[in-house]
Amino acid sequence: QVQLVESGGGVVQPGGSLRLSCVASGFTISTYAMRWYRQGPGKERELVARIGSTGDRTYYAESVDGRFTISRDDVKNAVYLQMNSLKPEDTAVYYCREPTRDYWGQGTQVIVSS
């Protein structure tokens, strides 16, 4: 069964850090670009970051640029999102996606609050 499973979310204070993981099973991610999205309460889903199939190209939304880092490990069949200097507006459910076949994970909740 094809699955993308996110983990690593939680509650963190402003200025804190979290590292999200997305582990794929049922398919190999090595030839595919991967993306992280988020959807905050009452907000539209937005693209946060993407990484090319070889890891040589990355993109970040302006709202997270300089604070978040996307990476991949094809041996582990996983993609990661390192989130630093977190702000309350980063509160959202974070999803990973393989866009070519439109595979989505179930999401992991991130709450940034004092």
- Which alpha helices (H) appear in 57-97, and where do they start and end? none
With vertex at residue 113, the alpha carbon angle to CA 112 and CA 114, rounded to the nearest 5 degrees, is 140
What is the structure's pLDDT at 36? 98
Phi, psi of 25 (to 5 degrees): -140, 155
Using the 8-state DSSP alphabet, how is residue 113 labeled? Answer: -
pLDDT digits 0-9 by tens, 62-87:
999 999 999 999 999 999 999 999 99
25 three-state secondary structure:
strand
As a whole number, the mean pLDDT across the chain is: 97
